Amino acid sequence: MSESSTSLLSLSPVVPVVVVDSAEQGVSVARALVAGGVGVIELTLRTPAALDAIRAIAAEVPEITVGAGTVTTPARAAEAAAAGASFLVSPGLTPALLAGMEDTGLPFLPGTATVSEVLTVLEAGHTEMKFFPAEASGGVTYLGALPTVVPDARFCPTGGISLASAPSYLSLANVGCVGGSWLTPPDALAAGDWERITKLAAEAAALG
Ligand code: 3PG
C-alpha cells in the first residue's frame, strides 16, 4: 500500500494511543471507542499483551482500524504486521527502522522531532509523520514554523496533548490529526469503565 493512496492522518481527528494489559481489554476498549465515534486505535507495543490485542481487535472489531505504536525496531514492525496491524507508528526513526516499516508494505507514521528528521522522512518518499513528543518539542509554535521550509510534510503531533490543546494543533494546515492517550485513562481501563471511554471518544470525535 503506497502512502499516496492512504492518508493515515485522515482517519480521525484524534488517534487514541492505548496501552493494554490483555487482549480482552483491547477488544473492550476498541468497542468503547467505536461506540463514541472513533474508528481508529493505536495499540502501543509496550506490554506483552499488545500483539495479542492487535490480533483480537483485527478479528473481533472490524469497525475499527487497528495499528501498532511504539514500533522501535524492524523486528517489531514485522511482528505487528504479522499480528494484523493495519498501520505502524514509531516514536523516532533510524534508517533501519524506516526500511523495516517500508518492508511490511503497511502505511506508517515515522516519528520526527527535528527538521533534519523531517527531511530524512521526505527524502525517503513519505510525507506523513508523527511529531513526538509534541508539547516538549515546541508544540504548536514549532509546527507552525515548519511549512516555510518543509511545505510537503504533514504531521500527527502526539505527546502531552489534551482535549483542550488539540484544537490549536488541528487548526494548523500541516496537521492532519493528533494522537493522545487521554481517551483511555489507566484508571478507566483498570475499572473496565467503558462508558467513560466512550464519552471521551465522543468528545474527541467531535473535534473533526
Ligand atoms: C505516545 O506513545 O505517542 C505517547 O505516549 C502518547 O503521549 P501522551 O500519553 O502524552 O498522550
Q: What is the pLDDT of residues 107-166, one digit of tens each?
A: 999 999 999 999 999 999 999 999 999 999 999 999 999 999 999 999 999 999 999 999
The burial of 173, by beta-carbon neighbours within 10 Å (0-12 exposed, 13-18 middle, 19 or more buried), is given as exposed
Report cis status (omega within 30 of 0) of the bond before 107: no
pLDDT for the residue numbered 6: 64
Ligand 1 centroid–CA 105 distance in Å is 25
Q: Where are the alpha helices (DSSP H) in 14-148?
A: 23-35, 50-60, 74-83, 95-104, 115-123, 139-144
Q: Is the CB of 160 under 6 A from ligand 1?
A: yes
Ligand 1 centroid–CA 99 distance in Å is 24
Q: Is the CB of 111 under 6 A from ligand 1?
A: no
pLDDT for the residue numbered 161: 98
Asked whether 198 and 157 are in contact (CB, 8 A), the reply is no
Given 79, 102, 128, 130, the catalytic residue: 130
Of ligand 1's listed atoms, the one at least distance from the Cα of 46 is 2
Output the nine-digit C-alpha cell for 172: 494548523
pLDDT for the residue numbered 147: 97
First to last CA, the chain: 25
Interval 157-185 mean pLDDT: 98
Axis-axis angle for helices 95-104, 74-83 (nearest 10): 20
Asked whether 97 and 78 are in contact (CB, 8 A), the reply is no
pLDDT for the residue numbered 1: 36
d(CA 1, CA 160): 31
pLDDT for the residue numbered 195: 98
Q: Is the CB of 17 under 6 A from ligand 1?
A: yes
Interval 17-27 mean pLDDT: 97
75 in the Ramachandran plot: left (φ > 0), alpha (ψ -120 to 50) or beta? alpha
pLDDT for the residue numbered 4: 41
Does the annotation mark 199 as catalytic?
no
Asked whether 131 and 160 are in contact (CB, 8 A), the reply is no
Interval 58-66 mean pLDDT: 98
Average pLDDT, the chain: 96
Q: Which helix (H) or strand (E) holds 195?
A: helix 194-205
Q: Is the CB of 81 under 6 A from ligand 1?
A: no
Asked whether 158 and 113 are in contact (CB, 8 A), the reply is no
The burial of 147, by beta-carbon neighbours within 10 Å (0-12 exposed, 13-18 middle, 19 or more buried), is given as middle
Confidence check: pLDDT of 198 > 50: yes
pLDDT for the residue numbered 74: 98
